[in-house]
Structure 1
Amino acid sequence: MEKIFDKKHKDFAEKISKNIGLEEWYDWKWQLKNSIRDIDTFEEVIGIKFHEDEKAELQEAADVFPLSITPYYASLIDVKNFREDPIFKQSFVGVEELITENFEMADPLAEDKDSPVPGLTHRYPDRILFYISHACAVYCRHCTRKRKVGDTDSIPSKKQIEKGLDYIRNNPQIRDVLLSGGDPLLLPDDYLDWILTELWSIPHIEVIRIGTRVPVVLPYRITDELVNMLKKHHPLWINTHFNHIKEITKSSKNALRKLADVGIPLGNQSVLLRGVNDCPNVIKKLNQKLAANRVRPYYLFQCDLSEGLSHFRTSVRKGVEIIESLIGHTSGFAVPRYVVDAPGGGGKIPVMPNYVISWGTDRVILRNYEGVITTYKEPEHQDDCSKDCTGCERGLAEEGEEHDLVGIEKLLFNSADDTISLVPQGTERIDKRDNNG
């Protein structure tokens, strides 16, 4: 790749390490070794000075939620307007993190409660989240797993990973494994290669995904050696985490190009963050630029209810407004799905603008992004799929076993039992029925 080490970068780098050259700067291990982990170093490297009272408060927050920023990512901060800079807000500790609302939780998504073995979350029927790394290149201030950052007790051992692999082997309904952490791509190449090889030795695994932020905060980690190892393990998907267009640089684009060139499908999961990207134009430009670099916008997450994140959260209304500004206004594949990851482990709930205005006996009334209202005539025939999978003649009967029906799907399938309602437990009306019986 084209390596540019101009005077600006050299001056910045030499505040961290004297006589640094181009090769050191582009060495991802040098970047990690020289990460900014304290406020004094941040002040010196960035060239700013906090008031002593503010600095003391910042240190209190850093004692609770540690600080770590790669020199590369720190170099993207606009020093002249750093307090409003989206890179600064995402990576540098804030006094607001000490504010914990009564509705905030250490584990808002109940990942630990849905963990049949340590380091593995099994929430959805056919897929699991596999926590294989504790390390992150940058400690994102909006992280939903802030409870684990800097916690040495949360480091998954090889023995723990082997237990997770055994769980996957013993549960044939699992077809999709998402490797997460921390950041899986901070593991040594050979160790990650071993994990991927073990997963592919399990007959019922069809897809492996990796969630990583290194193309954003440490793009030099995407080395030729790493890419050559990953391409042995297709079908492999990678989801990364760009939140702002400032994060798309020559270096990050080069990292994305390397991954895409070996046939790895790339997706992006952004988090909606107040003061960072809670603007329709910012999100639209970000997603357009991602698409131009062969990255499909996948999710736009509402900020989770993790401890100390109240200053980052926007209203759900703002998220719907942003999606409204994307649909029809840019390419369909540049529109992510806006979701709220339900507190308590309910999973991802899509929240989208409503384009169905009304529904009649034989037609649907719809509106488009411009406000045009139109009619779609429903077909008169009634031979759509009956949802009765027993003896299916459409070529799917022999594809696999039927799965247990839950939720709305249970009411839709004719092959389900006689259930006609989904009734929450503890309702007064039903309790009366039970008592009367």
Structure 2
Amino acid sequence: MIYNNVQKEIAHKIEKEPQVSNWKDWKWQIKHSIKSLEKFEYLTDIKFDKEERKNLEKTFEKFPLSITPYYLSVIDKKNYKNDPVFKQAFGGIEELTTLESEHADPLSEDKDSPVEGITHRYPDRVLFHVSNICSMYCRHCTRKRKVGDIDFVPSKDQLSAGIEYIKNTPQVRDVLLSGGDPLMLPDDKLDWLLSEISQIPHVELIRIGTRMPVVLPYRITDNLISILKKYHPLWINTHFNHPNEITASAKESLAKLADGGFPLGNQSVLLADVNDCPRIMKSLLHKLVQNRVRPYYLYQCDLSEGLSHFRTPIGKGIEIMESLIGHTSGFARPTYVIDAPGGGGKIPVMPNYIISWSTNKVVLRNYEGVITTYKEPDSYEPKMCDRDCGNCDLDLNLSEIDESESIGIEKLLSDSCDTISLVPEDNERLQRRDENE
């Protein structure tokens, strides 16, 4: 891994006689994380005036500061106020502005938590919060109510409650380890956790959401890889927001993970004045796929407290997707989503390519503006589906047949249910009907 002049300078300020091995030791990096304004100024030679210092101190009282020396070394000190790494890592007084539309828990993760540490929102998968600690506190974090404010790593007994819930919930086939950052757990504890979950018969795969390749790539050690390889199929999603974050060290960590056989995905957040530019986003996506990372989601910035300065209009995200669809490889494009406030889950928001349609023809447009038609079949005979999969005459040959009930829009489309509409519980019209009966 590269040990450049900027890193040497920072290392020398931290230790009089630093060793290259220390800089690349992830535990050393955590030990020397920058958690005060004074240390930040000392290591970077960036000086803030009296008013700026006063505002920053107010901000860090509510939302603490923590930056790894490595991620600090990526900041362009000569142009720090416009630097995308600085903006994600450092923060400012604008974080103390809370709008009425913002909430501590905008996605209602706590309300969808049947036991401590588990968020069960979708039918077949759960999110398992295994740590509140991150190697760096991202200023745009959607879980500011937990991360940074309360440094906490659950004990094995506390994690066991989540494991027991997964064991007792057979519809869960996919477990996402999140936090904080799961890779902040010591190797032995992570090994134990993965072992416990992987032994649950109905769990088909485990995912890890981590920002370590971005902010602390030295965490991706050979020993970590050897532990993770025991638990295939294991998927890893990381969180690069800007092409400047894909450094030589980041590339090396991604190569280790890819060579270990882990499918890699990336989840970016659309951030004002950081990556809200079609050219920046395309550059990021191209660098990701060059390093065997497939773009997964582009998130609209959540309605968490203190993030209004990061939030863009949804139209900006649509504009970016218009610049990608047809203009770069399909596997290099993420899905643009809004994580619905109140716990509604991820809602894809994409440009509309269907202009109109009739009973047998669809009118579409492509990325160039070319308008075309698609002829639908005149004689299609739909098969009635009563969701009795065991007696279906289609050649499914499924060893495990899913006969679960349909919900939501799927329910309206299903032949197995005579429901014709989905109506909110507090619908006034239906309330009047009940009153008149």
Q: Same fold (TM over 0.5)?
A: yes
Cα deviation for residue 154 of structure 1 reads: 4.7
Per-residue CA distance 1:268-313 (angstroms, 9 max, x = gap): 0000000100011111110111011110000000000111000000
| Alignment correspondent of 1:402 | 403
Cα deviation for residue 158 of structure 1 reads: 1.4
Aligned partners of 2:2 and 2:249 also within 8 Å:
no
Cα distance change, pair 48–168 in 1 and its aligned pair in 2 (3 A): same
Structure 2 unmatched runs, 5+: none
1:90-239 to 2 correspondence within 5 Å? 90-152=88-150, 154-239=152-237
CA RMSD of aligned residues (A): 1.3
Q: One-letter code of the match for 2:162?
A: G
Q: One-letter code of the match for 2:201?
A: P
Cα deviation for residue 333 of structure 1 reads: 0.4
* More displaced 10-residue stretch of structure 1: 330-339 or 156-165: 156-165
Aligned partners of 2:64 and 2:149 also within 8 Å:
no
Per-residue CA distance 1:356-411 (angstroms, 9 max, x = gap): 01111111111000000011111223245544331222315652241122110001
Cα deviation for residue 237 of structure 1 reads: 0.2
| Alignment correspondent of 1:344 | 342
Cα distance change, pair 397–388 in 1 and its aligned pair in 2 (3 A): farther
**C-alpha separation in 2, matches of 1:278 and 1:384:** 44
Cα deviation for residue 52 of structure 1 reads: 1.0
**C-alpha separation in 2, matches of 1:46 and 1:329:** 39
1:249-260 to 2 correspondence within 5 Å? 249-260=247-258
Cα deviation for residue 81 of structure 1 reads: 0.7
Instruction: List structure 1 runs of 4+ shifted beyond 6 angstroms.
Output: none
Q: One-letter code of the match for 1:300?
A: L
**C-alpha separation in 2, matches of 1:244 and 1:386:** 49
Aligned partners of 1:13 and 1:25 also within 8 Å:
yes
| Alignment correspondent of 1:51 | 49
**C-alpha separation in 2, matches of 1:412 and 1:352:** 22
* More displaced 10-residue stretch of structure 1: 375-384 or 426-435: 375-384
| Alignment correspondent of 1:421 | 421
Per-residue CA distance 1:321-350 (angstroms, 9 max, x = gap): 111110000000011000000111010011
TM-score normalised by structure 1 residue count: 0.97
| Alignment correspondent of 2:433 | 433
**C-alpha separation in 2, matches of 1:397 and 1:413:** 20
Aligned partners of 2:131 and 2:153 also within 8 Å:
yes
* More displaced 10-residue stretch of structure 1: 266-275 or 381-390: 381-390
Aligned partners of 1:66 and 1:149 also within 8 Å:
no
Q: One-letter code of the match for 2:341?
A: P
Q: One-letter code of the match for 1:136?
A: C
TM-score normalised by structure 2 residue count: 0.97
Percent identity between matched residues is: 63
Cα deviation for residue 89 of structure 1 reads: 0.3
Q: One-letter code of the match for 1:140?
A: C
**C-alpha separation in 2, matches of 1:397 and 1:262:** 30
**C-alpha separation in 2, matches of 1:16 and 1:300:** 36
1:265 aligns with 2:266: no
Aligned partners of 1:133 and 1:184 also within 8 Å:
yes
Equivalent residue of 1:196, what SS? Answer: helix
**C-alpha separation in 2, matches of 1:129 and 1:7:** 40
**C-alpha separation in 2, matches of 1:397 and 1:229:** 32
**C-alpha separation in 2, matches of 1:381 and 1:206:** 40
Per-residue CA distance 1:31-56 (angstroms, 9 max, x = gap): 11111000011011111110111101
| Alignment correspondent of 1:362 | 360
| Alignment correspondent of 2:378 | 380
Aligned partners of 1:339 and 1:348 also within 8 Å:
yes
Q: One-letter code of the match for 1:156?
A: P
Cα deviation for residue 152 of structure 1 reads: 4.1
Cα distance change, pair 43–205 in 1 and its aligned pair in 2 (3 A): same
Equivalent residue of 2:66, what SS? Answer: coil
Match 1:25 to one of 23, 26, 36: 23
**C-alpha separation in 2, matches of 1:313 and 1:148:** 21
| Alignment correspondent of 1:62 | 60
Cα distance change, pair 357–277 in 1 and its aligned pair in 2 (3 A): same
Equivalent residue of 1:66, what SS? Answer: coil
Per-residue CA distance 1:101-158 (angstroms, 9 max, x = gap): 1111000000000000011100000000000112101100000000112344753221
Aligned partners of 1:66 and 1:139 also within 8 Å:
yes
Equivalent residue of 1:297, what SS? Answer: strand
Cα distance change, pair 325–386 in 1 and its aligned pair in 2 (3 A): farther
Equivalent residue of 2:145, what SS? Answer: helix
Structure 1 unmatched runs, 5+: none
Aligned partners of 1:133 and 1:155 also within 8 Å:
yes
| Alignment correspondent of 1:319 | 317
| Alignment correspondent of 2:10 | 12
**What number of residue pairs does the alignment pair up?**
434
Per-residue CA distance 1:42-82 (angstroms, 9 max, x = gap): 01111111011110110010010000000000101011110
Cα distance change, pair 218–425 in 1 and its aligned pair in 2 (3 A): same
**C-alpha separation in 1, matches of 2:41 and 2:207:** 38
Cα distance change, pair 223–397 in 1 and its aligned pair in 2 (3 A): closer
